[in-house]
């Protein structure tokens, strides 16, 4: 039996090492849906196919789980079995460094803002910041009439900056650094959705860093993307 234990733990170690490789495991949120990737295998689900997210247990393990809308046709037997077993039809394979409750809340908020039956309420004063995204860059028109700009060619890095001033003041900001200036854009700005769509197209953009930053309530800077250094 000793050799079987060695083989088993060797396999576990191999899986753990694979999960640590870039892009082996991630959760990607977009305006249309979310993509789960585990061991390099990804699966995309549309927000409109999901009723909502909650937290359940598989034996003693907590997981973020969800149910599909009645019109969803895929894997009916498996979904029925899962419902009888744990009360939900499907689950997210990881919490990606977040509390399970925080991840479920983030997914529910993202679903509501992306495909809600009504437009999400505008935040004030955040919605007074107007973001325009073009093929050449980003501009942000501020309530004081100032305009900040950065071009894609000059963009050096992207951060999410959290402060402890919420919830009555803006407390989450996108900071786009250029070599000469940049943009500071509060979460909830008009045009933020289009900005995120474009940022997610940057090669190597760290969606997991964004997900984690959305649950932070203290002063923190989270790096989401940095321009690769040119090889000599």
Q: What is the pLDDT of residue 17?
A: 35
Tokens 């203290």 sit on residue: 218
How far apart, in whole angstroms, are the C-alpha atoms of residue 57 and residue 101? 12
- pTM beyond cutoff 0.85: no
* Spans in the chain with pLDDT lower than 50: 1-23, 117-118
Give first-to-last CA distance, the chain, whole Å: 54
Is 217:157 a contact under the CB 8 Å cutoff?
no
Across the chain, what does the average pLDDT equal? 81
Q: How far is CA 19 from CA 16, 23, 33, 44, in A?
A: 5, 8, 23, 19
Q: What is the dihedral of CA 7, 11, 12, 14, to 10 degrees?
A: 140
Q: What is the pLDDT of residue 39?
A: 61
Chain mean position to CA 163: 19
Q: What is the pLDDT of residue 114?
A: 67
């Amino acid at each position: 039996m000793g050799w079987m234990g060695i083989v088993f733990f060797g396999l576990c170690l191999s899986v753990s090492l694979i999960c640590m490789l870039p892009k082996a495991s991630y959760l990607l949120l977009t305006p249309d849906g979310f993509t789960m990737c585990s061991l390099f295998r990804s699966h995309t689900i549309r927000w409109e196919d999901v009723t909502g997210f909650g937290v359940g247990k598989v034996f003693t393990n907590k997981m973020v789980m969800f149910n599909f809308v009645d019109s969803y046709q895929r894997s009916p037997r498996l979904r029925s079995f899962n419902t009888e077993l744990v009360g939900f039809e499907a689950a997210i394979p990881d919490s990606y460094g977040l509390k399970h409750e925080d991840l479920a809340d983030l997914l529910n908020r993202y679903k509501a803002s992306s495909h809600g039956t009504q437009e999400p309420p505008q935040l004030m004063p955040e919605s007074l910041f107007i973001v325009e995204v073009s093929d050449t860059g980003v501009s942000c028109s501020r309530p004081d009439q100032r305009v900040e700009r950065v071009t894609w060619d000059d963009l050096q890095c992207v951060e999410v900056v959290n402060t402890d001033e919420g919830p009555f003041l803006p407390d989450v900001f996108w900071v786009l650094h250029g070599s000469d200036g940049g943009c500071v854009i509060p979460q909830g700005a008009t045009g933020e959705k289009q900005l995120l769509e474009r940022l997610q197209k940057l090669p190597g953009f760290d969606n997991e860093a964004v997900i984690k930053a959305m649950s932070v309530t203290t002063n923190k800077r989270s790096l989401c993307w940095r321009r690769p250094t040119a090889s000599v």
